[in-house]
Structure 1
Amino acid sequence: MHIVIAGGSGFVGKALQERLLKDGHEVTILTRNKEKVAEKNRLRAVEWLNPNSNPEKYLGNVDAIINIAGESINGFRWTKTKKKQIIESRIRTTREIVRIIGEMDPKPKVLVNGSAVGYYGMSDEDTFTEESKTEANDFLATVVRKWEEEAKQAEKFGVRTVYARLGVVLGKGGALPLMALPYKIGVGGPVGSGNQWVPWVHQDDVADLLLLAIENDSISGPLNVTAPNPVKNNEFGKTIGRVLHRPHWMPVPSFTMKMLLGEMSEMLLSGQCVIPRRALHSGYTYHYPELEQALENILR
């Protein structure tokens, strides 16, 4: 297949590139700076989101588009400027993807658009599947809802659309190195109450689940891209400690996180128990269904 990736140079995008190329697919990366993409056999770059760039002219026949572009939600604090960048980057890139699809002939069969489990809001008690309804109105839930509404516009062109609701992706990059750092220096422990859920997933399973969304015609709408066995923050930390042979003993109080990170601290002090029902019902077999084996693979 010929698969186009927007956001292909990021942490998740690079793992996805490797997976698709390994399987023999042709991959095109949409990028503002073609020099950042090391083109090679079956991998090329096409410029987009720059003045006078017309990516649709250079794409040819495309089977699928994966859009995981957008400003990182990680950072020190969510300032007004940062929050504006987070939401506008997702709306802008998704709107441009839909525009490109409208210009393409033939159309791709499927758009797999990035999303997040933040859609469900935060809860220590509830369990969420793709069928769960939510009235959450916190910042992340609002961003995700608007993001998915923008992607839904692709359906008017007859393109099957999937919202890939990613959890906390574990790999050599992303959030895990910062989460593991306190343990490496001997001061690891629960964050806040430790009772908040962590809807984690290994990056290898992320790549395969995004490919599943492309290949399985019965999947449309939301797809939870999480592992089948979420854990609470206290257990997550204990597992890091076991894998690294380091103690799990020093709590990080909620007020400290709020003082340091402001509104962004809610992402760490709260969570959601998310179950990937559609992936499981499709028969997908996880590489890393359990947290300890996932962390063993990454941290050792």
Structure 2
Amino acid sequence: MKHCLLRTSNAYRQIGGLLNATFGNATEMIISIYALKSNMIRVVQQSLLGSILSNMLLVLGCAFFTGGIAHYKKVQVFDKAAAIVNSGLLLMAVMGILFPAVLYFTHSEVHEGKSVLSLSRFSSCIMLLAYASYLFFQLRSQQNVYTPVNEEGDDGENSDEEEELELTQWEAIAWLAILTAWMSILSGYLVDTIEGASKSLNMSMAFISVILLPIVGNAAEHASAIMFAVKDKLDITIGVAIGSSTQISMFVIPFCVVVGWCMGKEMDLNFQLFETATLFITVLVVAFMMQEGTSNYFKGLMLVLCYLIVAASFFVHDDPIKSGND
């Protein structure tokens, strides 16, 4: 009976983390589609890249740091198996984004100007298939594998029973949908004013798109990840931060490529060399931090400091592509 309760609780956490990431990333999807209509392809690429970097370094780092401070007398743990699966998907996303950039910058295209776009569209379809398989694997096929480590034992079971539900399932979904709809209304104004903000603030479009825009867009995920880390529920924190990054890289980005394909826009996976290298190093750093399945405030501090280095790099980075047209 106890193991059945643990499996049921774990399934609800997986669905809850997925819903949190999905509704949280709905804003990025809406902004990206609106920007694609305006042919602002670089804004789409950089804002989605910024969301991945923000979730993996800033959100996860702050969560690890605050959770480590709140529970400084012990080492916080999370499910290592689920973290490894997410890390593998992120590395697959890096592969999908890396090869078009390498193909472009090595000038080794069979059909110059067309091979990168064709490869991007093919890779996007493969990535969407992989993400759909991951959802089936996570929610249906392997539910019993991912048992949150901090729920093993009587203490975790009792703490779940003692928690009171503040919102029902449908009330929570309704509020998420309402807030997402409101953000979609504001996204149009945001895309229209980003170029003017770049000129008035004397900042590059790359810095605004990669750093400032995702920080604002990920505010809800940031707060929820920290809250769950303070409550010593790092499995949900990982689901919010890393799960959101996985969804953006394996679903939102390929989805935007396919949508751009249908709209006749040349949206591809060539994020340029600087951005691709940044993503590659970030995924390696975060995968290394999570390989032990433990967390403390020092790991969180290192992730936040890494994000500051990334932010400073984009502050002095001059994007070689000035317009939205590739």
Higher relative contact order (CA 8 A, sep 6+): 2
TM norm. shorter chain > 0.5: no
Structure number with the higher helix fraction is 2
Structure 2 length normalisation: TM-score?
0.26
